[in-house]
Amino acid sequence: MNLIDPRRAQAEQRQQQAVHASAPLFLRACPGAGKTRVLVDRHCLTPPGPRRAGRALLSFTNVASDELRDRCSGNRPDLTAFPHFIGTFDSFLWRYLVRPFLPATPPWQHVLSWDHVPAAVVGPRKVPLSSFRFSYDPATRQTAVQWPAAARSLVRSQLSEADYLRLAQRRRDDLWQRRGYMTGHEVRIAALDHVRNPSVTHLLRHRFIEIVVDEAQDCSELDLTILEQLHRAGLPLVVVADTDQGIYEWNDARPQDLHSFTLHLPTRLELNGNWRSSPSVCQLAATLRPTSRSIPDDPVGDHHEAAIPLLLLPYGHHGRKASGLLDASDAGEAFVGYAAREDIAPADCLAMAYRNDAVPKARSRPAPNHPKGTDAKALAWAAAVFTTAEAPATARKHALAIASTLLDDYWHPDTEETLADSLAAHGIAPALMRRRAGKFLTALPPVDATPARDWRSAARSVLRAQFPPSTNRPAPPKILSLAAKELDQPIGSLVGMPQADSDSTPAAGMRSSTVHQAKGSEADAVLIHLPKPQSVTELLQAWADPLTHTENNELLRTYYVAITRARHMVALTYPLSKHREVTTHLETMKIDYREETAHHLV
């Protein structure tokens, strides 16, 4: 028997314990623990045949819930249909705790954000309602409003911040209570109100034998309050989380709140067998965790014998010294080269940073961020995405939405309704609109080095030729705005397309994203970019402080997520001026590393 066999057997035994454990249950699962397999196996224990009650499998993203559905469908297709439910936490709340208990009117709609409601603007400056932050106190049932961008948005304004806050509250209440629009925040407030009603939870107990909440570290205070009410009402809950990966504190998702909630769940299990990462990745990640969990997760997967140390790629100049790498793009190219030495292809490399503008770019398609507006830049993004074969389905869907909205605005310029309402009012089938939007996007000029003003002019001509299904021909379009500073820039550069003559792009094929966007993904090799000396200082200070760890510091949790995406190899790139501090810290923490750069005097 190989030495790895007993460790794998122990990891599989813990998985089986989680599969068969009774609810209520809290399952802590480390990165790469195989929790999706556990949840699918648990669901597959459901006896076949007709049932009145089913299981709800909930996650916080469509990608995660789709993976659960696909895996269940491959084993037992009946487990993806009634009476079971597999979907997002938001869709579950809307379907089972909100919509059935709302009055008949107004015509209620669950919207992704206020940006999808044309009338959701505030004041004479038409500030988007999505710019305001609404918070709700479950104890007092009071709502507070904040406007983070008030200082820069109120320059030479006749109205004060307080005026805009009052207007935002009124507009939101009007859109919600009178016109029936609800974002996820309003859905949660309504769900909490309904779940406090014993008759509602009585129905839910007869509808579901178990409610499984995956990625529960993303639960906000409101989410946990709803789950607490369900638990008190006797709903069997299975809560699966890794609090070390909680990186949405800005959305009121705090690990300490989840910890307090899970103390009420009688059964607690832990999966610490890591089927994804190498020993060096596991050891590096463990140094960010609290002392009570500083023992690395057990690497039991295919990379259990890999011993690639942390790769350091400092770049730029410092004093009379210079690195062989000029900038982050050079570091990205070097990273792909070093990965190739380990037989890792560029497509299996992932470059990340805290902010999108700091990610070493290496893509042949537009930036992954979905535009919020419908200006010329958004249309160019949509055209580039729609005509790019490797674009993900979600991006293509968003591209069609942008084109559909622009066509509707052109055909019906005076409407303030949502796209769905406008199509219904004018008798246009959604399928027809999608076909027209697709033809519109493919008819647009290429998104290349053409100056933005020229591209916009050509796009307007294409838009002018898009006649509506009715016989009424609209006036010439005046939409497709562009900022003055962007008019002379290449349209391709505005949406993230590389320049044809650019030599600063890392090797083709390397993926890139922010850490937050990469959550849930993995790669053989991971490059983490710290773009400023201050970024390095902040990380090292938090990392070195024995009282600071992933339980109480979101910065460390963010880099913990970044590190644990790696299967085989992790690299750091940062300004050369911080290199000595980085190596000193790694030596203090007894973290094995290697430097891959040529320092020389200048």
Is 32 known as a binding-site position?
yes
What's residue 507's pLDDT?
A: 42
* Ramachandran region, residue 526 (left: φ > 0; alpha: ψ -120 to 50; beta: rest): beta
In this predicted model, what pLDDT tens digit does every residue of 534-572 receive, in sequence order?
Answer: 999 999 999 999 999 999 999 999 999 999 999 999 999
> Do 4-98+190-273 and 280-362+505-601 share a fold?
yes
445 assigned to a ligand binding site: no
CATH code matching the domain that covers 280-362+505-601, chosen among 1.10.10.10, 3.30.200.20, 3.30.465.10, 3.40.50.300: 3.40.50.300
Average pLDDT of span 359-384: 72
Per-residue pLDDT of 149-202, as tens digits, reads 898 888 888 899 999 999 999 999 999 999 999 999 999 999 999 999 999 999
Architecture of the domain whose range is 4-98+190-273 = 3-Layer(aba) Sandwich (3.40)
Residue-level pLDDT at 515 = 93
* Distance between CA atoms of residues 299 and 33, nearest Å: 10
pLDDT for the residue 239? 97
Is residue 542 marked as binding? Answer: no
To the question of whether residue 35 is assigned a binding role by annotation, the answer is: yes
Q: Find out whether 123 is annotated in a ligand binding site.
A: no
The annotation status of 33 as a binding-site residue, yes or no, is yes
Domain definitions of the chain by residue range: 4-98+190-273, 113-182, 280-362+505-601, 376-494
Residue 72 assigned as binding residue:
no
394 is in an annotated binding site: no
CB 587 within 8 A of CB 594: no
**Residue 240: how many other CB atoms lie within 10 Å:** 25
Task: Label residue 253 by pLDDT band (50, 70, 90).
Answer: confident
The dihedral over CA atoms of 101, 102, 103, 109, expressed in degrees to the nearest 10, equals -140
How are the residues of the chain apportioned to helix, strand and coil, as percentages rounded to the nearest 5? 45, 15, 40
**Quick check: 505 pLDDT over 50?**
no
Per-residue pLDDT tens digits for 74-104: 878 899 999 999 999 999 999 999 999 999 9
> What residue spans of 21-61 are helical by DSSP H?
35-44
Angle at 194 between CA 188 and CA 198, to 5 degrees: 140
Q: Is the pLDDT of residue 214 over 60?
A: yes
